[in-house]
Chain A
Amino acid sequence: DAKTTQPPSMDCAEGRAANLPCNHSTISGNEYVYWYRQIHSQGPQYIIHGLKNNETNEMASLIITEDRKSSTLILPHATLRDTAVYYCIVDVNYGGSQGNLIFGKGTKLSVKP
């Protein structure tokens, strides 16, 4: 079973910030939080990851609560092309190239004009 809980769907107006929540209350101290997205019919795409500090890259920002039991992915200016299913994933294995990303059902984000 996925170790994360996400709302099944969310809407966002084009140009506004999209804030996607994720609960991971059983996360271990050295597990990372990863976000991927899947645009319709395409392979998943990596967005961002973090351990305990907030992270930002050219695609998004990741805010992790101090107790690490939840996080929020922020798309600062959502566009129609950001319509996708967003997966919050807690890392299962460590190093050694044994990555087993457990994908849940994710959040379907619909960006509307």
Chain B
Amino acid sequence: NAGVTQTPKFQVLKTGQSMTLQCAQDMNHNSMYWYRQDPGMGLRLIYYSASEGTTDKGEVPNGYNVSRLNKREFSLRLESAAPSQTSVYFCASSEEVLGGRETQYFGPGTRLLVL
């Protein structure tokens, strides 16, 4: 049971380049999330997906697009990378827990540097 996996682990881009960050979970969770974490800061939600085929914007969606390919996979795309998108990106998935709230399980992160 791998949990939440992310690829790549590290990436360096030049300004204007595009790339897709991949995320997959094997826990049969309905919900998946993308967060970014800047140095010394907490996590901020970029996009989330409540179920296959649905996506919604989070706190900082500008400059990003997402695709919920199937129940397992949720990808994050940067169409034209900017230095301000240099960050660590975390994917998460969640289940319903008894008592009405969800525990989120996080991947190991993708470290992105945009030059």
Q: Which residues of A contact B (CB under 8 A)?
A: 2, 32, 34, 36, 41-46, 49, 51, 87, 91, 94-106
Contacts and interface: CB of A to CB of B under 8 A. Distances in A.
B52 to A, nearest CB: 11
A99 B109 contact: no
Contacts of A96: 50
Looking at chain B's contact residues, the main secondary structure is: strand
What is the interface residue range for chain B against chain A?
20 to 34
A63 B99 CA distance: 17
Q: Chain A at the B interface: mostly helix, strand, loop or mixed? A: loop
B42 A87 contact: yes
Interface of B: 4, 30-31, 33, 35, 40-45, 48, 50-51, 56, 58-59, 90, 92, 94, 96, 99-109
Given A43-B109, A94-B100, A100-B59, 8 more contacts: A44-B90, A45-B106, A95-B96, A99-B102, A103-B42, A103-B44, A104-B42, A105-B40
A94 B58 CA distance: 15
Nearest to B29: A97
